[in-house]
Structure 1
Amino acid sequence: MHTIAETDADRLTRMLGADMVLTGPDTAPYCRDWFGDAQGAALAVLRPRDTAQVQDCVRAAAALDLGIVPQGGNTGLVLGAMPDSGQVVLSLERMTRIRALDADNFSAVVEAGTILHDLKQAAAARGLFFPLTLGAQGSCRIGGNVSTNAGGVNVLRYGMTRELVLGLEVVLPDGRVLDLLSGLRKDNRGIDLKQLFIGAEGTLGIITAVAVKLTPAPDRVATALVALPRLEDAITLYRRARRECCDLMSAFEFMPPLAFTLAREARPDLTLPMADTHPAYALIEISGSGLVDIDDLMARFLEGVFADGLALDGVVAQSQAQAAALWAVREGMNEGQARRGRHLRSDVSVPLSRLAEFVAEVEAAVTAQLPGCTCVSYGHVGDGNVHLNVLPDHALGPDSVDDQIARAKGILHQVLDRFGGSISAEHGIGRLKKVDFEARLPAPQRALLEAIKQAIDPGRIMNPGCQFDPVAG
């Protein structure tokens, strides 16, 4: 009698049940990156419904010596959740419960698969606010936000995701549960172990639940778009806004005039709020609740700005719809870049005081060495985060596009290193930036990372190939 040998995928199905395991063509959606530029492969996709089932998945994969790639909404931009053949994806998409929402403690405990928008909506229903705000918030999931230490447009007021986390529940590589789900603001009992897993991109364990901070919902928001004589004036304007609007400023973005062109390419029906011929633009948002008159604060701030000649033009949203229209330019700009095809996407940071100088130097170098390329520089003024993207000349063909992207990245990083900047401000390292990260990794830092990896994941099964390649333990 002839029998067919049992594959690892068969063994996983037998060990975990068909409801929890996807194989074959069903794995395809979990093996593509957010933009569709990269395609991976997975032996199987595991879809647990609770923490106990995550433990079962980890133990089963470990027993078969299979690498585990944790995945939330798969909206990351550095291939951090991209599986390779022979690895399994562990998707948290079924773990979407909001376990608790404590309005008096201004906190919530949510499972890792909870979509960011759903968490924000649940908080809003109780008059509260979860401040993490991302373009992908309708698809990204809170476990991935924590694993990548996501940033977004509200970092200057509320900080990175790391600063919004009170506690974690993590399944370790040996299948044990590390329960650090505390709702305490002050807890000084030694080393804060949860910090090891925030930003680790699933290389040390699988985050299954998160305790997060909430704030009172800002029921008054003022949004303005201001045209500036030059990018350097955005720094001057931010410094003034930081002083006069204090901690009520929740967003301060800068954009080039090309932003309007790109946004219109993605959204042809977009109505421009002002002329698109000014050298630079700043999108400003201040927000608050209670007794603070936000509209009056914005009006008085802008009155002084125009009186002192710091701005060329400006518009203040008079409704939520108008505010959304102003943000549509910022969001549509990203969509427009994607429509132009593959390009260099960067996520770097430099000291805020040198942001304008950095952008000018990189754009000048790219223009001189790659005259067919177009630079698109924008980002978050308040935290020094610049997305300095480069659009290649696609008319020259795919091979030339690859060459232009590689050369543009080299130019960018050469200048960035001189400015003492970071190759990743908010997106993480993943697989996309691993080589560049390792090239800049000091020996003492690498030694500590190696030691932590060896202590927590000696079998090297957690997201192998992500962030850096540890030496054999």
Structure 2
Amino acid sequence: MSAPLSPDLLARFAALVGERYAITDADAQQPFLKEWRDRYHGKTPLVLLPGTVEEVAAILELANETGTPIVPQGGNTGLVGGQVPHAEGNELLVSLKRLDKVRAVDPDSNTIDVEAGVTLQRVQEAAEAAGRFFPLTLPSEGSCTIGGNIGTNAGGTGVIAYGNTRDLVMGLEVVLPGGRIWHGMRHLRKDNTGYDLKNLFIGAEGTLGIVTAAVLKLFPKPRSVGTAFIGVDSPAAALALLNVARENGGGTVTAFELMPRIGIDFVIRHVADARDPIEGSYPWYVLLEVSNSAEGGVNEALEAMLMTAYEQGYARDAVIAASLEQAADFWRLRELLSESQRFEGGSIKHDVSVPIRLVPAFLDKAIAAVEAFIPGARPLPFGHLGDGNIHFNVSQPVGGDKQAFLDKWEKTNEIVHAIVAEFHGSISAEHGIGQAKRKLLPGVKDPVELEMMRAIKATFDPKGIMNPGKVL
């Protein structure tokens, strides 16, 4: 634990950004100090909002000189507490929200240069205005920022076709703990001049430095998009359907989301205008999106593929969106799965991944194990079957005691994570480590891998001022 920061030192930090952008009032600080699920609450004597990369550099130079811990923050939409300071109140929070410029868009090179505080939605809109497409898509895209997306290596629904954030970053501008600025805003598709340093900062959750800007990849806009909502009997049938869609879907599979019936029931029960897209009731559902660069024809190809899947027994029933509005309704059901669980009491959540071919077996074993440990528990696993990432959420038993259920969080984690390990998976697929999973890493990481991570941390941040107590 670091010592309390003196008033004189706080004044020096405040002077670097100006009084208007140095927040000391407790009420004004609150939006920065707790995350939306209300699991993590922090404290700080000072929230700094720098407006330039030079101000960020000045902050880190003074922090390194004085040994002051720094917590970087983007849109504060993270789910593992990586962006929230600790409760002791001896860390400064540096919000990147004022670094919000779209510096350049280059349709010829298919790149966009943005600062860390630009929201994901603004990047999408800037790409659209240039006749291009930025494929990272998240429910929080209106408030999450590119800096935060990079810090956590955000995933989302488009990973099956376009990859994680890491796959979408070409170059970075980073302020190192001593205040030096790395000008790595490269626009090169090929560059074999040694170590690819940018990847050290992607997914590092601000523990090695502060990302202040990035060069991101853009793509041609799909001209045709087909969206289908499909009832299936099991995750195994869904996996078979995925293979059929990849081979005969009439384009690139750009989303393949798996959802259980209980999740659809939750959304319909608690969202007034939510409707079941399919008349019949099926154990599992798939939300499938196929995109291509040709004008028209995608729905016809999608219909033919679904008929093949039906004849082979992989699909039980399906509906193809006849309009953008209907497609949005399908997506809304998927996006509200997690939120609707709040109305059903306590929910224990996991963000895990296993090899795609093993997802059905993993789900069978994990569901059975959780139901045996907590009789009456209601598993609600959903997510990105196309990339092996499952959000294995568990709702409390009907009529049960919420706190008694939540008290079983850690033991439930142990059960699920042990099965993840058995299937050679990861305990954090896209949300990061932060505070939530930091203590779990030694149990799942190879000791040599952890040793290398600690060596990198010590090299970049020898005084340990960058987001202490997170990740490592």
- The alignment's TM-score, normalised by the length of structure 1, stands at 0.94
| 1:15, distance to aligned residue in structure 2 (A) | 4.7
Mapped partners of 1:211, 1:137: distance in 2? 18
Does the alignment pair 1:457 with 2:458?
Answer: no
Q: Deviations over 1:75-115 (max 9, x none)?
A: 01111101021001111111110000001111010000000
Percentage of matched positions with identical amino acids: 39
Q: Report the Cα distance in structure 2 between the residues aligned to 1:266 and 1:57, rounded to whole angstroms.
A: 46
Q: How does 1:245-260 map to 2 (within 5 A)?
A: 245=249, 248-260=252-264
Unmatched runs of 5 consecutive residues or more in structure 1 = 469-473
Instruction: Give the counterpart of 2:100 among 96, 104, 119.
Output: 96
Question: Displacement, 1:396?
Answer: 4.6
Tell me which moved more, 191-200 or 406-415. Answer: 406-415
Query: Residue 159 of structure 1 aligns with which residue?
Result: 163
Corresponding residue number in structure 1 for 2:242: 238
Partner of 1:269, secondary structure, is coil
Q: Using the TM superposition, give the Cα deviation of residue 335 of structure 1 relative to its aligned residue in structure 2, in angstroms.
A: 1.3
Shift of 1:412: 0.5
- Deviation of the 1:12 alpha carbon: 2.3
For residue 467 of structure 1, the aligned residue among 442, 460, 471 is 471
Deviation at 1:194, TM superposition (A): 0.6
SS at match of 2:392: strand
In the alignment, structure 1 residue 128 sits paired with structure 2 residue 129: no
Name whichever of 13-22 and 144-153 sits farther off. Answer: 13-22
Residues 223-273 of structure 1: CA distance to partner in whole angstroms, max 9, x if unpaired? Answer: 001101222101111111122238611000111001212212442211221
How far does residue 288 in structure 1 lie from its aligned partner after superposition? 1.9
Q: Is the 8 A contact 1:67 1:462 kept in 2?
A: yes
For these two proteins, the number of residue pairs brought into alignment is 464
Q: Does 1:221 align with 2:222?
A: no
Question: How far apart are residue 140 of structure 1 and its match?
Answer: 0.4
Q: Does 1:375 align with 2:376?
A: no
Equivalences for residues 45-124 of structure 1 within 5 A: 45-84=47-86, 85-124=89-128
CA contact (8 A) 1:253 1:284 kept: yes
Greater shift after overlay, 294-303 or 350-359?
294-303
CA contact (8 A) 1:390 1:405 kept: no
Asked whether the 8 Å contact 1:95–1:111 carries over to 2, the reply is: yes
- Structure 1 Cα separation of the partners of residues 455 and 195 of structure 2: 16
- Alpha-carbon shift at residue 193 of structure 1 (Å): 0.7
Q: For structure 2, list consecutive stretches of 5 or more residues without a partner in the other structure.
A: 1-5
Aligned residue number for residue 19 of structure 2: 18
Q: Is the 8 Å Cα contact of residues 392 and 405 (structure 1) preserved in structure 2?
A: no
Decide whether aligned partners of structure 1 residues 247 and 269 sit closer, same or farther in structure 2, where only a CA change above 3 A counts.
Answer: closer
Q: Residue 19 of structure 1: CA displacement?
A: 2.2
The one-letter code sitting in structure 2 at the alignment partner of 1:24 is: D
Amino acid at match of 1:82: V
CA contact (8 A) 1:9 1:23 kept: no
Distance 1:269 1:16 in 2: 46
Within 5 Å, give how 1:182-193 maps onto structure 2. 182-193=186-197
Letter aligned with residue 197 of structure 1 = F
Which one-letter code corresponds to 1:23 in the other structure? T
Q: Secondary structure at the match of 1:281?
A: strand
**Root-mean-square deviation (Å):** 1.7
2:375 and 2:397 in contact (8 A); partners too: no
Map 1:332-411 onto structure 2 (within 5 A): 332-393=336-397, 395-397=399-401, 399-411=403-415
1:367 deviates by 0.8
Instruction: Determine if the alignment matches structure 1 residue 197 to structure 2 residue 197.
Output: no
Asked whether 1:147 is paired with 2:148, we answer: no
Over 3 Å counting, the alpha-carbon distance change for 1:443 and 1:244 in structure 2 is same
Distance 1:221 1:79, change over 3 A: same
The verdict on how the C-alpha distance between 1:150 and 1:364 changes in structure 2, with shifts beyond 3 A counting, is same
CA distance in 2, matches of 1:412, 1:276: 31
CA distance in 1, matches of 2:317, 2:9: 63
The alpha carbon displacement at 1:134 in A equals 0.7
In 1: Cα distance, 2:358 partner to 2:196 partner: 33
Tell me how far apart the structure 2 counterparts of residues 390 and 107 of structure 1 sit (CA, whole Å). 40
Structure 2 Cα separation of the partners of residues 122 and 290 of structure 1: 23
1:337 shift after superposition? 1.3
**Residue 406 of structure 1: CA displacement?**
2.2
For 2:450 and 2:336, locate their aligned partners in 1 and report how far apart those are by CA, in whole Å: 39
State whether residues 396 and 402 of structure 2, in contact with CA within 8 Å, keep that contact through their aligned partners in structure 1: no
Q: 1:77 corresponds to which letter in structure 2?
A: L
| Structure 1: distance between partners of 2:462 and 2:318 | 57
Instruction: Give the aligned residue type for 2:257.
Output: E
In the alignment, what sits opposite 1:432? 436
3-state DSSP class of the match of 1:61? helix
Distance 2:90 2:12 in 1: 13
CA contact (8 A) 2:235 2:359 kept: no
Q: Distance in 2 between matches of 1:372 and 1:251?
A: 32
The 8 Å contact of residues 253 and 283 in structure 1, kept in 2 or not, is answered as yes
1:443 CA drift (Å): 1.8
Aligned equivalents of 2:128, 2:185: Cα separation in 1:
22
Could you tell me whether the CA contact under 8 Å between 1:238 and 1:252 is conserved in 2? yes
Alignment deviations for residues 348-385 of structure 1 (CA, whole Å, 9 cap, x no partner): 01111110111111111111120132100111111111
Q: Distance in 2 between matches of 1:225 and 1:242?
A: 16
Mapped partners of 1:185, 1:414: distance in 2: 39
TM-score between the two structures when normalised by the length of structure 2: 0.95
For the residues of structure 2 that align with 1:230 and 1:395, how far apart are their CA atoms? 28
- Partner in structure 1 of residue 3 of structure 2: none
Aligned: 1:280 with 2:281: no
